[in-house]
Amino acid sequence: MANYKALAEATEVTAITFLRRLHAFSKPAIAAAEGLALGLGSSILLHCDFAYAGNSTRFYLPFINFALTPLGATTHLLPRLAGNKSATEMLMLGKPFSASRACELGLLTDTTPDGKALEQAIDCATRLVAKPFDALLATKALLRESDAEAIAHAFDREEKQLLERCRSTEAQEAIDAFFAKKGSH
């Protein structure tokens, strides 16, 4: 059995730090997704103010499939956006979902024709730059303020749980099985 614990922990700590900083970012954050948004690539959307994806983009929160738990306040933010049943389905079944479903659930601002998500994100940024800067920052702060304490708590709880899971035999076996399966194809 290969030892992925140190690599997994280092990767997850870096990802957690990135998501914490993205969430705390005072300016509008805009995402564009094309292709496959896997794990962190899907969790990022929860911290962006605007998010666009090509129509054929697939989203995937497979933490459970690797005997891991979500990170980045996903267990707090996802149910608020998508509802408890949909969040539970995405996180406990760990199966992919479409861009149209992500938009329907509130993870995306809009979908675009494939190859146009970045263009849409740039257009959004251009429109935001034309707005009064201080009012824009104040509006973002007000939108985030009421939930700040709960989100900080969720970050802490998820980080602790994820690091414990990274050290578990169950997670190591799931990761080994994944790489063994990949190697046999």
Which long-range CB contacts under 8 A does 19-26 form with residues at least 24 apart?
A: 19/43, 19/44, 19/47, 19/71, 19/72, 19/73, 19/155, 20/72, 20/155, 22/47, 22/48, 23/47, 23/72, 23/73, 23/144, 23/151, 23/155, 26/137, 26/140, 26/141
Look at residue 104 and tell me if it is in a domain: yes
Look at residue 184 and tell me if it is in a domain: no
Domain count, the chain: 1
pLDDT > 90 in the chain, percent:
76
| CATH number, residue 50 | 3.90.226.10
Instruction: Give the pTM.
Output: 0.86
In this prediction, residue 180 carries a pLDDT of: 83
Show the DSSP H helices in 54-147 as ranges: 74-82, 84-93, 99-104, 117-129, 133-145
Look at residue 185 and tell me if it is in a domain: no
Give the side-chain half-sphere CA count within 13 A for 23: 24
Expressed as residue numbers, the domain containing 40 is: 5-179
Look at residue 51 and tell me if it is in a domain: yes
Look at residue 90 and tell me if it is in a domain: yes
> Which residues of the chain register pLDDT less than 50?
1-2, 4
Look at residue 146 and tell me if it is in a domain: yes
Look at residue 74 and tell me if it is in a domain: yes
In this prediction, residue 167 carries a pLDDT of: 85
